[in-house]
Structure 1
């Protein structure tokens, strides 16, 4: 049994060696392929890449050789120990087998060493050739790089010389142009400065003259203000000022026939209202109705109120406001007694205050405006509100005129209706006459065709037969 195992093991040793040789050949082929690939790639790389490739290939070969030698040594030692153990176990019968195996292993080791040495030499030779090629490429690249560097330095030197020349020329041109510009600017600056100074002095003179004129105007205005103050302090003149303002508003808003000045609204009374707006009666034949408008300007009480408010004296301001309220009530009572006379007038009148501040103060008094309207039938207005009121009256006038015109239009439409019926009758008669004329024209057209049929055979009219032709035509017409 042991002998059989020994023989089987001895038979398997060549197979193992063949397997190792096949593995080595495959590794060698792989190494050759790797070397070829590295050689192909190394031709296009730099000197540094070739150096790294040589180092990597050398290390790879060295590692491979070391690993193969170590593996073979380990295998040999392992087999020697195994054979020694078998020899000790079997005795002297296995000495020849052991010697044969030893010889085979030694021959295999020698052959493998020779093969590895040969491959190593080939690899070293290939690497040397690659190094030589890379060195040639590197030398060529270095030479071309040196030539390119020299060429670039030469071109840069030429460019530097050209740029220096251009810069020198440009600096000279710029200096000349700057000198020209400086001279031009100095000249223009002097001209502009002289012109501006002249204009400035002229403007200052004109402004001083204007200031002098303004001072004269201020003096005139001061005298005018004094005159205005005199006017406002005079009760009669102040009332006239309010009437003038009210007259201007009425003139701008209404037509001249829609209002009158200084109207007596009470028969047998000498009191005359400043202005009265003409309102139409209820019917077309009714007498016209007057809307009284009177201008009031309680300047003293309003001025006291303003002075108290400016001084911040609330007590005096309240007293002045009370006096102003009583004054306005008195004026409203006076308007009611003098100018309200229904049905000759409306049942209300209008009090015009020519100053907006005065009107605003009246409105600010709580319940005053409503009291004047309710108790005295007087509506208080200012310059703005009376314009709106007059515009509303103007719209009322227009509405009334439209109503009157509407009745006239209806009457006119009735007349047109009657005339249109008559016109229809005339059209019927005209149609009959036209029908008779059409029948007559048709009869004449028929006779004309008969005459044409008679004349178709006539080629010419002899001058000696006009009487005969006339007789025939009379006969045709009679037919």
Structure 2
């Protein structure tokens, strides 16, 4: 019983303690809840104040940002206007420079086109000249293709060279020799010397065939023919035109082309030597001109020799005139010497007159001064006699 009571009492005590602890725990929880509510309200109020402060700060920042944005807008506006003005000025300057450049470019283009037009005109004239030259070459080719025309061409060129360098009485074209043959030209030499024969019928047919040959056999055949024709013509000149006492013992065979003459000496040297041994000299236009100039010098020297006696007579007359002039100069010198002496005497008389006038001026009027006799002095007397 006692034990049950004790147990019951102990259980009640335990329950009481548990209840007390429960009450304490509930009070603590209530205090904690109240504290937490108060803390929460304080935190909420603190946060509200912070939020208000932040909102105020944000409002201030927004206001500042608005002001700055306005300032920036004003700055941007002024900068934009400055930029627009600068861009406008630069565009105006660029437009002006572009216009000036375009004008200058137009002028230079116009000048270039003018120069181009002048050059085109020069090219056009050159082209016309080349066309004319081509037609002349074709004419020359047609002339050289015809034997008679080719002979007339060589004859005409030889006659032009001779007629340009010699007087008309120094040559004769197509003259007739005593044997009845007619050389192309006779050049008359002075002192009764026989004339020099010039033949202009160089055989160019074989030369044309030689130039047209394509194979070695054709060239060999054309070369043989050319040698035969030239040698035959050289022999004809020697037999027909070299007449003792009537013509010179040397004749000229005229080649109307410098290129043919050079090629002849280069490729057919043996033919040139054979012609020289036959006393026939093959000459080109330049060599014929040089020979004609030599003949011209000989004729000039002959004319000077013919006029030598006249020149000597004129020189004698010139010497007589020089001697006569010398005598007259000596006489004039003598006259000048006599005139100089007369002038000296006149000066002496003048000086004496001045001295006498000075003595008369120095004489006092109250004294009698014997007058010295005045002796007349002849004009041509010497200086000592006058004194």
Report the TM-score when normalising by structure 1.
0.44
Work out which of the residue numbers 338, 350, 360 in structure 1 matches 2:252. 350
Q: Which residue in 1 is equivalent to 2:171?
A: 259
- Output the CA distance in 2 between the equivalents of 1:415 and 1:174: 102
Gapped runs of 5+ residues in structure 1?
A: 1-170, 282-286, 432-479
Work out which of the residue numbers 145, 153, 176 in structure 2 matches 1:233. 145
CA deviations on 1:156-213 (whole Å, 9 max, x unpaired) are xxxxxxxxxxxxxxx9999888655422231133334555666777888888898888
- Output the CA distance in 1 between the equivalents of 2:171 and 2:89: 84
**Shift, 1:372, TM fit:** 0.8
Q: Which has the higher contact order (CA 8 A, sep 6+)?
A: 2
Distance of aligned partners of 1:198 and 1:293 in 2 relative to their CA distance in 1, 3 Å threshold = same
**Shift, 1:382, TM fit:** 0.4
Is 1:189 aligned to 2:101, yes or no?
Answer: yes
> Match of 2:181, SS?
coil
- Output the CA distance in 2 between the equivalents of 1:343 and 1:411: 36
Is 1:295 aligned to 2:207, yes or no?
Answer: no
- Output the CA distance in 2 between the equivalents of 1:230 and 1:193: 53
**Shift, 1:320, TM fit:** 2.0
Work out which of the residue numbers 221, 225, 241 in structure 2 matches 1:323. 225
Q: Which residue in 1 is equivalent to 2:45?
A: none
Is 1:277 aligned to 2:182, yes or no?
Answer: no
Q: 8 Å contact 1:238–1:297 — kept in the other structure?
A: no
> Match of 2:296, SS?
helix
CA deviations on 1:324-373 (whole Å, 9 max, x unpaired) are 12211111111122222221211111010001122122212233222212
Distance of aligned partners of 1:174 and 1:263 in 2 relative to their CA distance in 1, 3 Å threshold = farther
Is 1:248 aligned to 2:150, yes or no?
Answer: no
Is 1:400 aligned to 2:305, yes or no?
Answer: no
Aligned positions of 1:61-140 closer than 5 A = none
- Output the CA distance in 2 between the equivalents of 1:249 and 1:177: 79
> Match of 1:263, SS?
coil
Q: 8 Å contact 1:359–1:381 — kept in the other structure?
A: yes
**Shift, 1:299, TM fit:** 2.3
Normalized per residue, which structure has more helix? 1
**Shift, 1:294, TM fit:** 1.0
CA deviations on 1:46-79 (whole Å, 9 max, x unpaired) are xxxxxxxxxxxxxxxxxxxxxxxxxxxxxxxxxx
Q: 8 Å contact 2:175–2:185 — kept in the other structure?
A: yes
- Output the CA distance in 1 between the equivalents of 2:311 and 2:115: 70
Distance of aligned partners of 1:174 and 1:317 in 2 relative to their CA distance in 1, 3 Å threshold = farther
Distance of aligned partners of 1:263 and 1:178 in 2 relative to their CA distance in 1, 3 Å threshold = farther
Work out which of the residue numbers 205, 211, 229 in structure 2 matches 1:306. 211
**Shift, 1:305, TM fit:** 1.9
> Match of 1:260, SS?
strand
Q: 8 Å contact 2:172–2:187 — kept in the other structure?
A: yes
Distance of aligned partners of 1:240 and 1:202 in 2 relative to their CA distance in 1, 3 Å threshold = same
Q: Which residue in 2 is equivalent to 1:380?
A: 282
- Output the CA distance in 1 between the equivalents of 2:265 and 2:185: 23
How many residues align structurally? 274
- Output the CA distance in 2 between the equivalents of 1:326 and 1:195: 70
Gapped runs of 5+ residues in structure 2?
A: 1-82, 332-387
Report the TM-score when normalising by structure 2.
0.53
> Match of 2:307, SS?
helix
Q: Which residue in 1 is equivalent to 2:237?
A: 335
> Match of 1:397, SS?
helix
**Shift, 1:240, TM fit:** 0.5
Distance of aligned partners of 1:270 and 1:172 in 2 relative to their CA distance in 1, 3 Å threshold = farther
Is 1:390 aligned to 2:292, yes or no?
Answer: yes
**Shift, 1:241, TM fit:** 0.6
Q: 8 Å contact 2:202–2:230 — kept in the other structure?
A: no
